[in-house]
Chains A and B, each alone.
Chain A
Amino acid sequence: MLALDGVTFRYAAAEAPWRFDLEVAPGEIVGIAGVSGAGKSTLLDLIAGFLIPLAGDITLDGRSLLTEPPEARPVSILFQTDNLFDHLSAARNVALGLAPNKLPRAQRQARVQEALDAVELGNFSNRVVARLSGGQKQRVALARTLLRDKPILLLDEPFTALDPETAAEVREHLSALIAAHRWHTVLVSHDAEDLAAVGARILVVDGGRLTPA
């Protein structure tokens, strides 16, 4: 269980602090809605470790994550854009999800190919990602998420930059992977349809608190 217990944060210029209480079960998708500036992305940054809360705790299966820096947290993130390094190939981008030097080269390549196959991009492994479409890029990022296989998945408007058809396709891949790997997923979106389409339990950030929709 991923739990946020009284997690409090305040930007210097803000009038009042945010206080987040949240529980996410394995395989569950919690959708976070709210207007711009409500604190949706701040919530993700707190879980990922890019922001440090003033008070409260963030735990995974009872273990506090607060002492761990972002790179050590059991978290994968999918942003709206900029999920990939455009100058690298799809395979190299996916391979960055593997811990360095832990596997022989052949095994690394096999696992990368397997992940790309899982998102139906097996034939694009050597293509520089700058030459891929928006939907293909998100699927490459998904392949890397799959390879990392971290228990917490944070999604920051991952469908916003995609056309409706491609978004539906990426959503389908994503839902299947979350169900299969039982990731604790927090999905931020300003689009209620996106949240509903992946079967998320929807919460709204309002007045600095999370409330049921």
Chain B
Amino acid sequence: MPRYWGRVVAGVVLAALVAALIGAMLASLFVASARFPGTGTAGGDIFYLARITIVQATLSTLVSIGVGIPVAWALNRVAFPGRSAYVAILSMSLVLPALVVGFGVIAVWGRAGWVNQALATLAGARLPGTIFGLHGIILAHLVLNGALAARVFYNRLATLPPATLKLGRSLALGPIDRFLVLDWPPIRAAIPSLAALIFLFCFTSFAIVLTLGGGPANATFEVAIYEAVRIDFDPGFAALLALIQLAICLLVILPAAAWPLGAALVAEPAPIRHWPDRGGARPLQVGIIVIAAALFGLPTLAALVGGLQPGGISILGSSAFRAAFATSMAIATFSTLLALALAMVLALARANLALVAPTGPWSAFWLRQVIGAPAFAYLATPAVVLALGFFLLARLTGIPPRHLAPFVLVLANALLALPLSAAILGPPLERLTARTARLQRALAISGWRRFTEIELPLLRTDIGYAAAVAFCFSLGDLGVIALFGTGDFATLPWLMYRAMGAYRGSEAATVAAALIVLTILAFVAIPKLVSGVRHAGA
């Protein structure tokens, strides 16, 4: 199929460039770890770090999956006004800045938080201990990833085939049989990939551990790397930690490389055919929905309300805020465009190879894996590691890091969004290509015309989702800016983090509220904007 090879070659070239970039970063880590040897206590530290990070990530994953399943089950059964908005808010968990969520968890569950205030007023009591520590980290991870899990499982249940639902309903399946027979198979199928994804999110957690960890006892590799570079100035130890983290992440991501979740993470599911459970299941489902709304929604609400305090509002008029806002917007815009372009080239190449891979030579099959691999390798490359690679590369080549900062932020954020962008665009593009390839060949539609007249219009919804996710990822990033941020070069999360560090809580709250509003606007507006282009062009 010679006509497909132009796109395949472009994909291969891009994959090679991305692979070379990864290689350069890994090389810089190796060189740095050799040039700046780590401290004498590093061995013990590393073992402890690995143990506590794995324990934390495992517990966070189990709790998130364990909460996500009943929430999805309850949402699937109970129809109520605003259910679509509820589900949309669950989707936001994928893109809400982790720093803001950590801040919101403190505002709700902290010593002076809403829960303690309510308890003190109603019962004259307080929660024991503080929110800081392993339990606080797991709670914040649950707020983010429990909602994500509920969203993915809900999507799976919403897309059950109508014939299966019809059959189940005609058999009058009770709540338990219905769950076991109809719901459990699609939920179970989603668990391995989702668990791997959540484990990676929690294992590489940075902002939440930084805000809620309560000290070195609960640090993750990410935080330890950050502290090694910014506080101890020990790039060798940081590089060693980064390499170990990369190896562990790769071990997790490789078995889940098929990544079947794709757009299920964010896409709007088909309307559910309403079939309520009867008997005792119903009050239980309503209870789950109410508790989940409080668990997932209150931290964001608390952060928003906290941002309206008069003491913090003044920061909105400051030059520091305006500069950080402009920097965040510019970096998010450029990194989104770059991520989409990279994801589209890779997805187009893989889609074309998908036509020959199932029946063609083994070389086509392997080529398809090779094209996809670099994009997915970034799943295992956390933000701080990525930033550290660039940081060390700059130092080793003698370039002052501040000169590279804007470019590194755009490139690193684009690469961080690339796996998800490729996962959102890839499956629909492959389906479209497989379905219409013969017709396109018969009509001699190829190249740019094929892209603009067939692929682009039909993929606008998916492109919109991918763009929204990439934009919000970049907007909320703290991991990359943490190594490159200064007083003069700041994004909104960095500005917020510095305000928190300087105990200017009300200013941090206002920046957090601004980040929430911007994230919601971007997540809602960007897909509509992209779809609107389609309507305008139709």
Contact = CB atoms under 8 A, between A and B. Distances in A.
B453 interface: no
Contacts of B169: 50, 69-71
A70 B162 CA distance: 14
A96 B170 contact: no
A77 B165 CA distance: 13
Contacts of B176: 100
Given A82-B163, A82-B164, A76 B177 contact: no
Contacts of A76: 170
A83 interface: yes
Contacts of A87: 185
Size category of the A interface is 20 to 34
A70 B1 CA distance: 51
B83 interface: no
B167 A82 contact: yes
Interface string B46-73: 0000000000000000000000000000
Contact of B170 (A48, A99, A100): A48
A76 B172 CA distance: 10
Interface residues of B, number: 17
A148 B173 CA distance: 12
B192 interface: no
A70 B169 CA distance: 6
A75 B177 contact: no
B23 interface: no
Interface in B87-139: none
A75 B170 contact: yes
Contacts of B182: 85
A83 B185 contact: no
A50 B166 contact: yes
Point out which of B167, B173, B185 has the most chain A C-beta atoms below 10 A from its C-beta. Answer: B167
Contacts, number: 46
A155 B174 CA distance: 23
B166 A83 contact: no
Interface in A36-61: 48, 50
Given A48-B170, A70-B169, A76-B170, A96 B181 contact: yes
B258 to A, nearest CB: 20
A77 B177 contact: no
A88 B170 contact: no
Interface string A72-93: 1001110100110101100000
A100 B174 CA distance: 7
A16 to B, nearest CB: 25
Nearest to B278: A71
A79 B170 CA distance: 11
A31 to B, nearest CB: 21
B170 A70 contact: yes
Contacts of B177: 96, 100
B181 A71 contact: no
Given A87-B185, A88-B181, A96 B173 contact: yes
Interface in B147-181: 161, 163-164, 166-167, 169-174, 176-177, 181
A50 to B, nearest CB: 6
B167 A71 contact: no
A154 to B, nearest CB: 9
A75 B164 CA distance: 17
Contacts of A208: none
B499 to A, nearest CB: 53
A144 B381 CA distance: 53
B279 to A, nearest CB: 11
Point out which of B163, B170, B171, B173 has the most chain A C-beta atoms below 10 A from its C-beta. Answer: B170
27 contacts: A50-B169, A69-B169, A69-B275, A70-B166, A70-B169, A71-B169, A71-B173, A72-B172, A75-B170, A76-B170, A77-B167, A79-B163, A82-B163, A82-B167, A83-B167, A85-B164, A85-B181, A85-B182, A87-B185, A88-B181, A96-B171, A96-B173, A96-B181, A97-B171, A99-B174, A100-B174, A100-B177
Given A79-B166, A82-B164, A99-B174, 17 more contacts: A48-B170, A50-B169, A69-B275, A70-B166, A70-B170, A71-B169, A71-B173, A72-B172, A75-B170, A77-B166, A82-B163, A85-B167, A87-B185, A96-B181, A97-B171, A100-B176, A148-B171
Question: Which 4 A-B residue pairings sit nearest by Cβ, starting from the closest?
Answer: A71-B172, A100-B174, A82-B163, A77-B170
